[in-house]
Amino acid sequence: MRRFFNILDANSNNNFLTTQNARADIIGELEAIMQYEAHLNQTDNTYAIETIRDIVKEEMLHVGQLFGLLFYLNPESKTQFEAGLKEFDETMS
């Protein structure tokens, strides 16, 4: 997985490292989804499409699990995420 930052070192506390790793893992899962969806657009093979769609669903599940972990480790992330969703919903109403 490509790292967008280099802030993790052995002197950081474990909760900080785990939180940052969860964020990096979310990025990795989203990149995987983008790659698989690009592959979907490049094929007309029925078996490939079914297989890749199933994999995309699994990756989306992983994103949800990782957000759950992030929100557990850093409740402020959850608060801001929910505020952003509310703001979006209000804009769309």
Q: What is the pTM of this model?
A: 0.84
**pLDDT for residue 3:** 57
- Kindly report the number of other CB atoms within 10 A of residue 39's CB atom: 15
What span, in angstroms and rounded, lies between the C-alpha atoms of 11 and 75? Answer: 23
Tokens read off for 43: 């094929």
Helix/strand/coil percentages in the chain, nearest 5 = 80, 0, 20
In this predicted model, what pLDDT tens digit does every residue of 31-56 receive, in sequence order? 999 999 999 999 999 999 999 999 99
Q: How confident is the model at residue 22 (pLDDT cuts 50, 70, 90)?
A: very high
Mean per-residue pLDDT, 74-79: 98
Domain ranges of the chain: 22-92
Query: Residue 15: which of 70, 78, 76, 82 has the closest Cα?
Result: 70
**pLDDT for residue 13:** 75
80 has a pLDDT exceeding 90: yes
In this predicted model, what pLDDT tens digit does every residue of 53-73 receive, in sequence order? 999 999 999 999 999 999 999
